[in-house]
Amino acid sequence: VLLAARYSEKDALGLLTGSGSIGLLFPPCLPVILYAIIASIDINQMFLGGILPGTLMVIAASLWGIARSPRSTEGEGGTFHWIEARRALWDAKWELFLPVVACGALFSGYATAVEASAQAGLDAVLLKELSGGDTLTVRTVYKEPFTFKPQCKVVLASNEAPRVSDRDTGVWRRLRRLPFECVVPEGKRDPRVKAVLTDPATGGPAVLAWAVRGCLEWQQHGLGRCEAVERKTAELRAEMDPLAAFFEDCCVFGPAYEVAAKTLREVYETWCRENGIKAPVDNTEWGQRLEGKGCKKAQGRRCGVKVKLWRGIGLAAEREDEPEGGTDGTDGTDVQGKLPIGKPDLPRRKVHCTSVPSVPPDREDEPEAAPAGQQEPGKPCSACGEHDWVWSAARGAYLCGGCGREHIPATATVEGIPTGKAQIDRTRLQELLDKGVPMREARERARLDLAPGCDGPG
């Protein structure tokens, strides 16, 4: 528009940038609010200080624009008319009136600059400041700031739990969830209960006696800890873990388990797609949370091929639908039936994880007799050196008594595949094919490279 009105490019850019910068001086301006918070400066004073220079800059920019305007007002933009200018100002009346409303609310005391964040999640920094025991500096409207040391207990009453990072130990040392689980049946509810409790003549003596008894008991026994509160707090923290539902659905934990890192991540991403979770945790947080569960990174060999492993975790076998009532989660809390984290309105779908743990739980059972024709390996396990082998009917193979690794006979072949130095484990190949793995990939994964790290023939 300015170029069409025959302003030079330099003057047009100057008017645009200058007029845009003027808006930063008038409330409600977010950069001014952020600067005041970071610099610990009073926001009201910042707004008040910007009114005078902002007004002067508006006048100066207007005069400069008129002075730099072309001598001829005839151009592609048309002829300038004051009537059209007044009409444009009237159309923008609400935008022009907004700073007046903001200043009036702030300086009259009807609003404060921090009310914009009232609906946000739990402010962990503020919570730590209030409960840290340090001296704080505060101020009220039109009064001088003062310092004090908080001596109170902050109570947040809410229908929905605020979002808090489950890894912020500083917050969880301070946070307690108080369960209110007693529901009075509708037929037994007293509609006068609120009026009675708030009436000093009727409910006052009862409330006072209740408070006095509580005070005496507190003086004798102290505050202590409540098992129900501790349990509910642990459940709340588990709900904040974005991987809690995945661990409950698809994983088992224990020192006997291990799984390939790539496989575990692929199962997690598949689980996220099945449950409608669009933002899986990134690789950095993924590793940190696994380590927080006691899992450890390791390097291992699978048939002569080096792979990255996670030890202490395995993939659960395919699960049947579990009975109602819940099951214990991986951290000892009841997480059965929880909705996927980040999707409060999404129905939880059962995901069947068809992968099996590298070291199955049946290795801890009583040893079973091997069927006829199955000879116990005559050499120690190549992974741990253990000489004891235990027959597993579930796997149809011998398992190492030390690490639980399956003994793979090097002489197994599959019909139609030539034998030689690179041979195939028939049992492993059939398992992969049953899981839907393509033939070519299954052959490569079941191929035995008669290299160190693979158990040779007994």
CATH number at residue 354: 1.10.10.10
Please report which confidence band the pLDDT of residue 123 belongs to, taking 50, 70 and 90 as the band edges: low
Q: Is the dihedral of CA 92, 93, 96, 102 positive or negative?
A: negative
State whether 282 and 261 are in the same domain: yes
Please check whether residue 204 lies inside any domain of the structure: yes
Angle, alpha carbons 305-310-315 (nearest 5°): 100
Please report which confidence band the pLDDT of residue 335 belongs to, taking 50, 70 and 90 as the band edges: very low
Most confident of 30-39, 177-186, 400-409: 177-186
Compute the average pLDDT of residues 282-308. 85
Low-confidence winner among 209-213, 270-274, 355-359 (lowest mean pLDDT): 355-359
Can you give the pLDDT at residue 271?
Answer: 92
Please check whether residue 264 lies inside any domain of the structure: yes
Length of the chain: 458
Residue 189 to residues 180, 186, 205: CA-CA distances in angstroms? Answer: 16, 5, 22
Q: What is the pLDDT of residues 94-117, one digit of tens each?
A: 555 655 655 555 555 544 444 333
Give yes or no for a contact between 46 and 107, defined as CB atoms under 8 angstroms apart.
Answer: no
Compute the average pLDDT of residues 308-319. 79
Please report which confidence band the pLDDT of residue 212 belongs to, taking 50, 70 and 90 as the band edges: very high
9 against 448, higher pLDDT: 9
State whether 219 and 283 are in the same domain: no
Low-confidence winner among 55-59, 92-96, 391-395 (lowest mean pLDDT): 92-96
In the DSSP assignment, the letter for residue 95 is: H
Question: Among 323, 358, 393, where does a domain finish?
Answer: 358
Tokens standing for residue 141: 């409207």
State whether 200 and 221 are in the same domain: yes
What gap in Å lies between CA 37 and CA 138, rounded to an integer?
13
At 86 the three-state DSSP class reads: helix
Would the pLDDT of 154 be above 70?
Answer: yes
* Burial bucket for residue 249 (CB in 10 Å: 0-12, 13-18, 19+): buried
Please check whether residue 455 lies inside any domain of the structure: no
Please report which confidence band the pLDDT of residue 213 belongs to, taking 50, 70 and 90 as the band edges: very high
State whether 195 and 281 are in the same domain: no
Average pLDDT score, the chain: 69
Question: Among 295, 329, 358, where does a domain finish?
Answer: 358
pTM, full prediction: 0.41
Give yes or no for a contact between 377 and 371, defined as CB atoms under 8 angstroms apart.
Answer: no
Structurally, how many domains does the chain consist of? 3
Would the pLDDT of 221 be above 80?
Answer: yes
Nearest to 248 by CA among 190, 194, 196, 316: 316
Low-confidence winner among 27-36, 94-103, 236-245, 372-381 (lowest mean pLDDT): 94-103
Please report which confidence band the pLDDT of residue 211 belongs to, taking 50, 70 and 90 as the band edges: very high
State whether 282 and 256 are in the same domain: yes
Compute the average pLDDT of residues 168-184. 84
What gap in Å lies between CA 427 and CA 448, rounded to an integer?
12
Compute the average pLDDT of residues 286-304. 85
Please report which confidence band the pLDDT of residue 296 belongs to, taking 50, 70 and 90 as the band edges: very high
Please report which confidence band the pLDDT of residue 321 belongs to, taking 50, 70 and 90 as the band edges: very low
For residue 256, give its domain range.
242-358
Please check whether residue 227 lies inside any domain of the structure: yes
Low-confidence winner among 60-69, 162-171, 392-401 (lowest mean pLDDT): 392-401
Q: Where are the beta strands (DSSP E) in 411-451?
A: 423-424, 447-448
Can you give the pLDDT at residue 385?
Answer: 65
Q: Which helix (H) or strand (E) holds 145?
A: none
Token pair 């004798």 is at which residue?
220
Can you give the pLDDT at residue 411?
Answer: 46
Give yes or no for a contact between 276 and 343, defined as CB atoms under 8 angstroms apart.
Answer: yes
Please check whether residue 348 lies inside any domain of the structure: yes
